[in-house]
Amino acid sequence: MKIAILGAGYGGMVAAWDLRKAGHDVTIFEAANYAGGLASGFKEPHWDWSVEKFYHHWFQSDSEMLELIRELGLEDKVIFPRPLTVMLHKNKWYPFDSILNALLFPGLGFGLNKIRFGFVGLFLRITKNWQALEKVTAHEWMMKYAGKKVYEQMWQPLLIGKFASYYKDVNMAWLWARMHARTTRLGTFEGGFQKFADLFADKLREKGVEIRLGTSIKSIKKDQASGGLSVDGEHFDKVLVTTSPSLMAKLCPELPESYLKGLLGLKSMGAVVMTLSLKHSLSKEGYYWFNVPKEEGYPFLALVEHTNFVSKEHFGGDHIVYAGDYLELGHEYFEMTDEQLLERFIPAFEKFNPEFKRDWVKKIWVHKTNYAQPVPLVGHSKNIPAIQTPIEGLYFASMSQVYPWDRGTNFAVEIGRKAARMMN
């Protein structure tokens, strides 16, 4: 079969890998000039490693991802350093990177709250019944079982940070998925995620997959004359699309009304992430990930000092810091210039390190995406579009369909492989 795949993100690439192995003639169309999609990176000439546009790491529990890496023979390039994650309480940062540290966190007080926090955590690790949890919002469930104090200290800031005005609407299965499937150890690829994407793309090309970079597809139509599908006028027997649901709807308006309605009804958050190269380290204590409580007036959700995860030696001695946020479309950050955003962020950097000076900043990069985080509402499983669309030969696999899991490269690999099995 002649197969087209739209998107050289992890989902598209792994589907191409499996379909090529099954003997099909596979072409990937990728709008950008590089592979890797949302998990791609960039590099300065004096850096040996790339930096992700949107901070990324793997969890030790990312079995689909780690299995793919093994299959590609790249397992010796995956590293799991031991960075420090911290959480704020009364203007002081406390370690928050293990179950023990979470239990010791003073923000929870003593006695009953700690016990409730522990039991809720344990229950969510053990139960597999996410179907029951998707019937209720995380807000209601946590208020009831973890209690007001634990919820407001631990979970509400995360929900507000990720989902803004939707935070009371997100279902409990989303929080379950994060706690059920994630470990605390964080990993990365030697050379950065872009290095992995480039090596993966090379292996695909070696196997005979054609990757057309810089090729943004405008339309997919039924090919009336020969059957199959037409991708910008080129014939294919089957097509897999791995873009956002709204783009899928635009690409293929011939999809039946009900499927289109389903695609367009899905809600998601965008993201704006600033990367800075600094002359000095921002965190004197060597912290990697700061869980920032946005409701306390910080202009971003996460502050991540990447060079407290991997060595600054890979970046010519530059200290790399990310400041990022999940935002609803139309938020002012999407319109602001990079300089305006920096001016907005600078007072916050001073809170992390009072010695921070504007002239520490060597260079900044700002990356924005409209499609960063699907928003799962109550009863969400009913809203997930089928991978096999009602048009024969046309398939769709996106971040919005990995539910009940939260989006992530691991689940892009899982759904890409599932789509390939269905197409084979």
Ligand X SMILES: Cc1cc2nc3c(=O)[nH]c(=O)nc-3n(C[C@H](O)[C@H](O)[C@H](O)COP(=O)(O)OP(=O)(O)OC[C@H]3O[C@@H](n4cnc5c(N)ncnc54)[C@H](O)[C@@H]3O)c2cc1C
Binding mask 86-125 for ligand X (x = CB under 6 A): ----------------------------------------
Q: Which is nearer to ligand X, 146 or 181 (CB)?
A: 181
Which of 24, 57, 195, 306 forms a contact with ligand X (CB under 6 A)?
57
> Is position 216 an interface residue for ligand X (rule: CB under 6 A)?
yes
Residue 21, φ and ψ in degrees, nearest 5: -60, -30
Binding mask 307-346 for ligand X (x = CB under 6 A): -----------------x----------------------
C-alpha–C-alpha distance, residues 158 and 368, integer Å: 20
Which of 17, 29, 151, 349 forms a contact with ligand X (CB under 6 A)?
29
Stretch that binds ligand X, among 126-134, 200-208, 274-282, 402-410 (CB under 6 A): 402-410
**Shortest distance (Å) from residue 34 CB to ligand X:** 8
Size of the site for ligand X (CB under 6 A): 36
Q: Which is nearer to ligand X, 230 or 398 (CB)?
A: 398
Stretch that binds ligand X, among 37-45, 151-159, 170-178, 385-393 (CB under 6 A): 37-45
> Is position 417 an interface residue for ligand X (rule: CB under 6 A)?
no
> Is position 269 an interface residue for ligand X (rule: CB under 6 A)?
no
Instruction: State in Å, rounded, how far the first CA of the chain is from the last one.
Output: 9
> Is position 157 an interface residue for ligand X (rule: CB under 6 A)?
no
**Shortest distance (Å) from residue 187 CB to ligand X:** 10
**Shortest distance (Å) from residue 220 CB to ligand X:** 10
Which of 11, 187, 262, 404 forms a contact with ligand X (CB under 6 A)?
11
Which of 195, 306, 407, 417 forms a contact with ligand X (CB under 6 A)?
407
Stretch that binds ligand X, among 54-62, 113-121, 165-173, 225-233 (CB under 6 A): 54-62
Which of 1, 22, 32, 115 forms a contact with ligand X (CB under 6 A)?
32
**Shortest distance (Å) from residue 415 CB to ligand X:** 7
Which of 85, 153, 243, 307 forms a contact with ligand X (CB under 6 A)?
243
**Shortest distance (Å) from residue 115 CB to ligand X:** 31
> Is position 399 an interface residue for ligand X (rule: CB under 6 A)?
yes
> Is position 56 an interface residue for ligand X (rule: CB under 6 A)?
yes
Which of 18, 30, 97, 318 forms a contact with ligand X (CB under 6 A)?
30
**Shortest distance (Å) from residue 117 CB to ligand X:** 24
- Cα–Cα nearest to 38, from 417, 420, 318, 400: 400
**Shortest distance (Å) from residue 397 CB to ligand X:** 7
Buried b (16+ CB within 10 A) or exposed e, 323-337: bbbbbeeeeebeebe
Which of 142, 239, 278, 412 forms a contact with ligand X (CB under 6 A)?
412
Query: 10 Å Cβ neighbour count for 299?
Result: 15
Structure tokens at 174: 């989303």
Which of 6, 68, 252, 310 forms a contact with ligand X (CB under 6 A)?
6
Burial of 243 (0-12, 13-18, 19+ CB in 10 A): buried
Site for ligand X, residues 341 to 380, rule: CB under 6 A: 369, 372
For ligand X, the nearest residue by Cβ is 37
Please write down the HEC assignment for all residues of the chain.
CEEEEECCCHHHHHHHHHHHHCCCEEEEECCCCCCCHHHCEECCCCCCCCEECCCCCEECCCHHHHHHHHHCCCHHHEECCCCCEEEEECCEEEECCCHHHHHHCHHHCCCHHHHHHHHHHHHHHHCCCHHHHCCCEHHHHHHHHCCHHHHHHHHHHHHHHHHHHHCCCEEHHHHHHHHHHCCCCEEEECCCHHHHHHHHHHHHHHCCCEEECCCCCCCEEECCCCCCEEECCEEECEEEECCCHHHHHHHCCCCCHHHHHHHHHCEEEEEEEEEEEECCCCCCCCCCEEECCHHHCCCCCEEEEHHHCCCHHHHCCCEEEEEEEEECCCCHHHCCCHHHHHHHHHHHHHHHCCCCCHHHEEEEEEEEEEEEEEECECCHHHHCCCCECCCCCEEECCHHHCCCCCCCHHHHHHHHHHHHHHHC
> Is position 39 an interface residue for ligand X (rule: CB under 6 A)?
yes
Residues near ligand X, by CB under 6 A: 6-12, 29-32, 37-39, 54-58, 216-217, 242-243, 247, 271, 273, 324, 369, 372, 398-399, 407-410, 412
